[in-house]
Structure 1
Amino acid sequence: MRPRATFKQISRSLMDSWISSPDGLGNPEDIYGPFCKLARPNMVLLVVDVRATNPLDFGIDVIQGYRLPTGLADIGTLQRSRSFADVPDTKYLNETVIPAYVGAVQRQRPTMGRVATRVLDTVIGYDQIILPQKNSSGRSEWCIGLLDIHFLLPAASKDGSLDDVDLTILQLLAEGSSTKEIASASNLSHRTIEHRIDILKSRFQARNIAHLAVLSVSAGLGGIVAKDP
């Protein structure tokens, strides 16, 4: 089977298409159209109408949504948005989304960045490229956005009451260690570690050990916002 195109490869092709596009191009599909079939199911392709003066009135047209199976409802909620004003998480909108698109419009240059943040009850991490319409006679009328989503995790809050043993357990679980290996590293009995894990699952409301490890990682990522590495 032929390997699927990577985000880096698709982004490069989109950039080449953008560079060769004419000034004032009316239809953004002329740029993204040839690459729709290359987008993988963890990618989101959208076009944002940026003609409005108020960014909250920017329109969103999701050309291809996130297609991997997930029980997280937030991703579906976000993809149903039809304008920035419809995005249900105003902090994410104002701190991450609006600055990225307004900046691209003002510069009329493609921008790339990396984001890891919390959106509603989901922790999300993705790379993105934004390509604004070239328009030497005025401001851009549209932007193409391509997101390569690396992870979607159920959000969890940090628990400041965790002791050193709890932190050790969570760290080693995230590394894939077994309960016996954790017991050996902690100089505690296997039964003690199992009891501790049961308590942690209850505190994090985790369904199983794998879910506990994911929630512990999510708790640490939830407050991070990283852009333009």
Structure 2
Amino acid sequence: MSPLATFQQISRLLMDSWISSPDGLASPEDIYLPLSDRLRPNMVLIAVDVRPVNPLDFRIDFIQGYHLRTGLADVSSLQQSRSFSEFPDTRFLHDTMIPAYVVAVQRQRPMMRRVVTRVLDTIISYDRIVLPQRITTGRSSWCIALLDIHFLLPTASTDQSLDHVDLGILQLLTEGEPTRGIGSELNLSHRTIEHRIDHLKSSFRARNIPHLVALWIAAGLGGSAEPDN
């Protein structure tokens, strides 16, 4: 069994295979199959049939899905082979999925970028490379995409009632400061900090401090996730 590789390593190997592939290669398997046993469990490898004129009729097939354990999303339902029109999140479909493959086919070259977006009730961050079928004349029939997923976060709303002390506590928690250290930094008693943290956990419906930090970060990312143009 080959050793697992990083996203950068696999992307480079995919690019090398893509560059050396013959014009109009019929099957994408010839490019990705030699590398499929080197993928990490947080990586997703997909093949997309882009022959239809209407992108809603594109078809996505999962060669390898994300299989780290998570309770944030019904990952298995999201990773079913289907036409684009059947994907359960239409916003993600139109803002992120369709542009990625339409642009790759139009430009006829690999496209790489980092994405932070929302899928259903989960914020997701990943690096992605899309490689269209190399073809001199006509239009590509397929694309390959590799996603390297960095994290999944629960969606959360920013609590507009947070004051400067709450924001300071959240920032210091994110930096790994213990409650006593936070009290020292903010010139407040240890008990005051604990009380504030309990109130923040209640406001964000967080189960514990790590969950609180994750929800706070997610609230910020949720407002800044951009369409994939």
Q: Distance in 2 between matches of 1:214 and 1:172?
A: 13
TM-score by length of 2: 0.94
Number of residue pairs the alignment of both structures matches: 227
Q: Distance in 1 between matches of 2:136 and 2:129?
A: 21
Deviation at 1:227, TM superposition (A): 8.5
User: Which runs of 5 or more structure 1 residues have no equivalent in the other structure?
Assistant: none
CA deviations 1:164-215 (Å, max 9, x no partner) are 1111111111111111111111111111111111111111110111100111
Matching of residue 89 in structure 1 with residue 89 in structure 2: yes
Paired position in structure 1 for 2:199: 199
Q: Distance in 1 between matches of 2:184 and 2:71?
A: 35
Give 1:176-215 correspondences, 5 Å limit. Answer: 176-215=176-215
- The answer to which of 154-163 and 206-215 deviates more is 154-163
Paired position in structure 2 for 1:78: 78
Q: Distance in 2 between matches of 1:185 and 1:3?
A: 46
Q: Distance in 2 between matches of 1:171 and 1:78?
A: 33
Contact preservation (8 Å) 2:95, 2:227: no
Give 1:145-224 correspondences, 5 Å limit. Answer: 145-224=145-224
User: Which runs of 5 or more structure 2 residues have no equivalent in the other structure?
Assistant: none
Q: Distance in 2 between matches of 1:79 and 1:223?
A: 25
CA pair 73-227 structure 1, distance change in 2 beyond 3 A: closer
TM-score by length of 1: 0.94
- 1:73 partner SS: coil
Contact preservation (8 Å) 1:114, 1:227: no
Cα-Cα RMSD: 1.6
- 2:143 partner SS: strand
Give 1:121-132 correspondences, 5 Å limit. Answer: 121-132=121-132
Q: Which amino acid aligns with 2:115?
A: V
State the percentage of identical aligned residues: 68
